Chain A
């Protein structure tokens, strides 16, 4: 009996040590990246199994869709397509005009070079964190830190890419922060998640800063992950307490973070002024620095 107790104690020490060493290795350096990659490949079948009931339900609904409903949906989509086409009709002209104003030779190519649609899997990661699994992974070229957009706006970024699925941290996660700027006046700040799908906070704005309800927040392009100019959120309330140095500002994400199942992974044109400023260089490229304050362009 005594020896058995000792044996349990010994194996406890053994496994606890392994666990602590694993944690240490995982925290420091990238030594465990390959192990994690393999483990997430092993986890994929279970994730698929958990996702399968809702996937089957969606499939059934698709099958059972009537001709009439499909026709209605088709005409609605055609209408929407026409409206969008009309809105982008002047894009080319505007891009050329913009290039002229910035004294560039030719209009810049689009900042988004490539899109990849992905679907959110119905698997829960953690209750109080805002993370999702999507059904595209490193075999489709997904990489860590890639921006994820949904139909309304910015959704999050890839945290960990497995072979066939990846983990996305949403902008509403308490550990996530997006560098944003107010579209109206170029005021820059950081939007931090709250762990709640409908709320972002802007905790670093002084009481006297120029921000109003209904201001649109777009990505500022700093921080090295997101390109500049993508819509993030709309300010819902601004609390100014004269006794406090900072204003209490809340915003609502534009992407339907908890409902959108279709997301897009985006690749950006490197070197584009609006593409994410690389973190390696301390200073952002000159084009970025002069963007918010419209610098008087000198005619050449």
Chain B
């Protein structure tokens, strides 16, 4: 690891901001159901490819932003994002060297875990919403992973 390598902080912020906008842009209902969790995918990408740049502060703040935009209990998405990002940072060396397909499987699992936590917190806080449709987006998220990797790796020099 090159100590001189610049941490892609500006790219991180910009990508997260764009992802946040993509998450709140209105879409037709059927498209909206399969809309991947862009922000989670972006956080996963940075946690894996630049684990020391943002640490866990960055996922935490992004999660809070999501809470505000979604009108959820404050801290709900923040907790889920911090957990997912922590796992990604902890195992980033393991994941980074895998082929894209296996990475996509990991991303699918992470998104499913994320959605499970949101579902659980929704239930505990008395806003339960039991719809099978909420489990669809991890699939599209996993499918999107290679594309997201291709796009995001252009914004910095991958190590």
Contact = CB atoms under 8 A, between A and B. Distances in A.
Given A11-B55, A11-B56, A43-B68, A23 B125 contact: yes
A259 B30 CA distance: 16
Nearest to B71: A167
The 9 closest A-B pairs by CB, nearest first: A22-B75, A19-B79, A23-B75, A19-B75, A26-B74, A12-B86, A19-B78, A124-B26, A39-B68
A175 B127 contact: yes
13 contacts: A8-B89, A14-B56, A19-B60, A23-B73, A35-B74, A36-B74, A39-B64, A123-B24, A124-B26, A125-B69, A126-B70, A128-B131, A174-B129
B60 A124 contact: no
Interface of B: 20-21, 24-27, 29, 32-33, 35, 55-57, 59-60, 63-65, 68-76, 78-79, 82-83, 86, 89-90, 121, 125, 127, 129, 131, 133-134
Nearest to A21: B75
A33 to B, nearest CB: 10
Given A23-B125, A43-B69, A122 B26 contact: yes
A122 B79 CA distance: 28
A49 B21 contact: yes
Nearest to A169: B71
A172 interface: no
A71 to B, nearest CB: 33
Interface residues of A, number: 43
Interface of A: 5, 8, 11-12, 14-16, 18-23, 25-27, 32, 35-36, 39-40, 42-43, 46-47, 49-50, 54, 122-129, 131, 159-160, 167, 174-175, 195
A159 B71 CA distance: 9
Contact of A160 (B33, B55, B71): B71
A27 B74 CA distance: 9
Given A8-B90, A26-B75, A46-B21, A19 B63 contact: yes
A8 B86 contact: yes
Nearest to B89: A8
Contact of A124 (B24, B86, B89, B121): B24
| Interface-centre pick from A20, A26, A167 (highest chain B CB count, 10 A) | A26
Given A8-B89, A12-B56, A124-B32, A20 B73 contact: no
B75 A126 contact: no
Contacts of A50: 21, 24-26
A89 B105 CA distance: 68
A167 B67 CA distance: 13
B67 to A, nearest CB: 8
Contacts of B24: 46-47, 50, 123-125
Contacts of B73: 23, 26-27
A23 B121 contact: yes
Contact of A32 (B74, B76, B83, B127): B74
